[in-house]
């Protein structure tokens, strides 16, 4: 299964979610390939730190800065893996379009902030331009950097706004803004691999991953 973490907007948590998902799925015994399609190479850098530190399981990871190479190599190599996780840069690029063409599930993270909510309309257009020419793409909107407060009005309002965009299926599996996510990802570790793991972060990630991989099965 190919899961894309993509958005036309930068800084929404694509790399964080992609790295955490790849590590968690590899730890669950899946044969995983993390593909970094962003010339910034943040996912690749995180996995390099992991490899240098000798952390297992090792994660297969490739960086394709060129959109054509990204498309060709994903097409050629995808069947050698059970889970292919695509992380693409936060702009409206050919790599994002190719990712949307090839993915089974596209996950679109957004923060409960007005700039991010506006950007969801741009991303919806990018998704629609692809779903006009292909079938079977499941597109999920996931709140990231949610406010920690249980009954946050900002979280509720943002969820409501995104639920109103029919291009996305809103996934009730938010990641709260937690230091554990940034610290772990920056070190090439899963949140569950940190010393004294943040149990809430681990539970949120588990729920997100279970929901993402169930989404495809449900709709197939
Ligand atoms: N749930 C979270 N809790 C705390 N910090 C987070 C969370 N998600 C992301 N961040 C932080 O927000 C910043 C942006 O995240 P990330 O790099 O994953 O976004 P991105 O969408 O991949 O950005 P880009 O478009 O630049 O590739 C990073 O500093 C990251 O550590
Ligand atoms: Mg990124």
Check which CATH number belongs to the domain holding 114 and give it: 3.40.50.300
The whole-number pLDDT of residue 17 equals: 98
Looking at the DSSP bridge assignments, the partners of residue 110 are: 143
Q: Please tell me the total count of domains within the chain.
A: 1
- pLDDT at residue 219 is higher than 80: no
The whole-number pLDDT of residue 68 equals: 97
Mean of the pLDDT values across residues 74-92? 95
Distance CA 18, CA 22 (A): 6
Ligand closest to 142 (CA) is 1
- pLDDT at residue 187 is higher than 90: yes
Distance CA 49, CA 72 (A): 27
Q: What is the CA(217)–ligand 1 centre distance, in A? A: 28
- pLDDT at residue 220 is higher than 60: no
Decide whether any atom of ligand 1 lies within 6 Å of the 16 Cβ.
yes
- pLDDT at residue 147 is higher than 90: yes
Q: What is the CA(220)–ligand 1 centre distance, in A? A: 30
Mean of the pLDDT values across residues 133-140? 97
Three-state DSSP at 136 gives coil
Structure token pair of residue 42: 């943040």
Enumerate residues 6+ apart whose C-beta is below 8 A from 26: 32, 57, 59
Decide whether any atom of ligand 1 lies within 6 Å of the 112 Cβ.
no
Q: State the number of CA atoms in the 13 A half-sphere of 125 facing the CB.
A: 7
Pick the residue with more confidence: 123 or 216? 123
Distance CA 211, CA 220 (A): 14
- pLDDT at residue 216 is higher than 90: no
Whether 140 is in a domain gets the answer yes
Q: What is the CA(95)–ligand 1 centre distance, in A? A: 19
Whether 220 is in a domain gets the answer no
Whether 219 is in a domain gets the answer no
Domain that holds residue 98: 2-214
Percent of the chain with pLDDT over 90: 95
Do 154 and 139 touch, CB atoms closer than 8 A? Answer: no
Q: What is the CA(94)–ligand 2 centre distance, in A? A: 16
Closest CA to 61 of 77, 79, 216, 98: 77
Whether 161 is in a domain gets the answer yes
Enumerate residues 6+ apart whose C-beta is below 8 A from 111: 12, 13, 143, 144, 145, 146, 158
Decide whether any atom of ligand 1 lies within 6 Å of the 129 Cβ.
no
- pLDDT at residue 212 is higher than 60: yes
**pLDDT tens digit string along 84-135?**
999 998 887 999 999 999 999 999 999 999 999 999 999 999 999 999 999 9
Whether 139 is in a domain gets the answer yes
């Amino acid at each position: 299964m190919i899961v894309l973490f993509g958005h036309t907007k930068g800084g929404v948590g694509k790399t964080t979610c992609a790295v955490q998902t790849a590590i968690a799925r590899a730890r669950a015994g899946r044969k995983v390939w993390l593909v970094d399609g962003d010339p910034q190479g943040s996912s690749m850098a995180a996995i390099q730190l992991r490899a240098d530190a000798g952390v297992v399981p090792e994660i297969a990871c490739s960086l394709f800065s060129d959109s054509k190479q990204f498309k060709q190599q994903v097409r050629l190599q995808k069947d050698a893996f059970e889970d292919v996780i695509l992380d693409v840069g936060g702009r409206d690029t050919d790599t994002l379009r190719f990712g949307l063409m090839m993915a089974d599930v596209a996950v679109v993270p957004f923060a409960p902030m007005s700039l991010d909510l506006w950007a969801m309309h741009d991303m919806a257009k990018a998704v629609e331009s692809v779903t006009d020419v292909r079938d079977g793409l499941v597109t999920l909107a996931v709140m990231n950097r949610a406010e920690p407060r249980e009954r946050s009005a900002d979280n509720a309002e943002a969820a409501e706004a995104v639920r109103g965009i029919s291009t996305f299926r809103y996934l009730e599996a938010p990641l709260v803004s937690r230091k554990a996510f940034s610290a772990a990802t920056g070190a090439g570790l899963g949140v569950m691999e940190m010393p004294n793991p943040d149990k809430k972060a681990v539970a949120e990630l588990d729920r997100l991953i279970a929901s993402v991989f169930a989404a495809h099965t449900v709709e197939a």
